[in-house]
Amino acid sequence: MFNSELMKRLSDCFGPSGREKMIRELIMDEIKDFADEITIDPLGNLIARKKGKGKKILFSAHMDQIGLMVTHVDEKGFLRFANVGGLNAKELQGLRMVFADGHEGVICCEELKENEKLTTSKLFLDVASCDKEFIKENFRLGDMCVFKSDYYETDDCVICKAADDRVGCYILIEALKNHPSTDNDVYYVFSVQEEVGCRGAKTAGYSIDPDLAVAVDVTATGDSPDGIKMDVKLGGGAAIKLKDNSLITHPHVKDLLTDLAEKNKIRYQYEILEFGGTDAGPIHTSREGVPSGVISIPTRNLHTSGEIFNKNDVEECIKLLIATAGE
C-alpha cells in the first residue's frame, strides 16, 4: 500500500544540497524505531544500520534536492542566484521558489536583446516586497531556495517536486521498516550533496567499506512524446541500471538483481542512461572497489518542479531492495 502521506512529507520538506538539516530530521524521526544504530557522519549523511555478522551491504538514496543559492541582493531588493545542482535557465522563468523559513519569490527575466541567449545571469528573484528592511532582514547571500509546487497523485502516478531523490528515500525507509530476517550487516544511507557531485556517497562509501552497494535513485524514461530514445517506461517496474556515466554495473550485481527479481516475481526493466550518474559512481571506486548497482525509479520531467513517477514501480523497487537486503 503506497504511503502517500509519507511521500508528500518527504517531497515538501526543504533540503537543497548542503542544507539537508530539515529533511535529515524528518527521516531520522521516521526511522528511529526501526534501526539498530543511527549515525550522522561529518558531511551530514544519515546512516541507519541493521546489524548482522554477514556481508556488509550499503543502500544509498540522496536526501538533497536541486535548488538555487542567492549570490547578490541588489539595492532595490532583487536577488541574483546560482544553481545548486543541474538546472536549465530556460525552464526556470516564472517558477515560484520557497526558502527554508517559508519566504517565497518568483523567478523573472530581464528583457533579452534579439537573439540573446537566456542564461541564469539574466534571471532574478522577485521576493514581493517594497520594504527594504524586510528584505535585508530575511534574504542573505548564501541563502538557498527550492521549487514550490504541490504534491498531487492519481490512482497510479504522482506529480511532485524533488521526487529526485525523495522517492528513493521513501523506498529505503519502507525497506528498513520491512527489513528481512538476515545475517547481513545492512547500512541504509540517506546521503547529502548528490546533486553537486555525489559528495556524501563518497565519504559514506569510504567509511562503511561495504561488500556490495546499491544506490536507489530516479532515472529518465523514453515514453513521453518528446522523450529521448530509451527503453525505460513508467509502469514497467523497477529499473535495474546497467550503465550510466558514473558506473558500469558490476556483472555479478546485475545478475544478482535480475535473479532476485525473477525469483520473487518482481517486475523489472533494464536501464541504460546515456548521461548522468548516481551515488553508486563514487561508492564503487571507493577504497579497493565495491561491486555496485542501482535500482532506479522511472521518472519523467527530471529536475523540474513536476517530476512524475508510478506508484507500482515504487512498490516493485521496495520489494527488490528488501530481497537484496536478505540475500
DSSP-derived letter for residue 224 is S
Cβ atoms 58, 213 nearer than 8 A = yes
Q: Which stretch binds other proteins (CB under 8 A): 1-9, 55-63, 247-255, 303-311?
A: 247-255
Per-residue exposure over 207-232, b if at least 16 CB sit within 10 Å of its own CB, e if not = bbebebbbbbbbbbbeeeeeeeebeb
Task: Determine if 242 is a binding residue for other proteins (CB under 8 A).
Answer: yes
Residue 294 near residue 218, CB atoms below 8 Å: no
Please choose, out of 18-26, 125-133, 163-171, 226-234, the segment that lies near other proteins by the rule CB under 8 A: 226-234
Distance CA 79, CA 69 (A): 10
Distance in Å, CB of 214 to other proteins, minimum: 15
- DSSP assignment letter at 304: S
**What distances in angstroms separate CA 122 from CA 42, 81, 92, 119, 237, one per listed residue?**
36, 10, 11, 6, 41
Dig out the grid coordinates for 296 from the structure. 532506479
* Selected binder of other proteins within 166, 254, 300, 319 (CB under 8 A): 254
Closest distance of CB 256 from other proteins, Å? 14
Cis peptide before 165 (omega within 30 of 0): yes
Q: Give the integer Cα–Cα distance in Å for 104 and 166.
A: 22
Beta carbon nearer to other proteins, 36 or 251: 251
Q: Does 218 bind other proteins (CB under 8 A)?
A: no
Q: Which of residues 139-158 bind other proteins (CB under 8 A)?
A: none
Distance between CA atoms of residues 24 and 44, nearest Å: 8
Which residues make beta-bridge pairs with 215?
A: 60, 294
| Closest CB to other proteins among residues 2, 270 | 270
Judged by phi (left if over 0) then psi (alpha if -120 to 50, else beta), residue 178 lies in alpha
Task: Return the range that interacts with other proteins (CB under 8 A); candidates 7-15, 64-72, 123-131, 228-236.
Answer: 228-236
By beta-carbon proximity to other proteins, the closer residue of 19 and 254 is 254
Q: Which of 231, 255, 259, 262 binds other proteins (CB under 8 A)?
A: 231
The residue behind cell 547571500 is 141
Length of the chain: 327
Q: Which of residues 255-284 bind other proteins (CB under 8 A)?
A: 270, 272, 274, 284
Active site residues: 194
Shortest reach from residue 278's CB to other proteins, in Å: 14
Residue 32 binding other proteins, by CB under 8 A: no
> Of 83, 120, 138, 285, which one interacts with other proteins (CB under 8 A)?
285
Which amino acid does the sequence have at 73? V
Candidate list 290, 294, 308, 322; residue touching other proteins; CB under 8 A: 290
Q: Is 289 in the site for other proteins (CB under 8 A)?
A: yes
Binds other proteins by CB under 8 A, chosen from 6, 106, 230, 302: 230
Select 180 or 291, whichever has its Cβ closest to other proteins.
291
**Interface contacts to other proteins, rule CB under 8 A:** 229-231, 242-243, 246, 248-251, 254, 270, 272, 274, 284-291
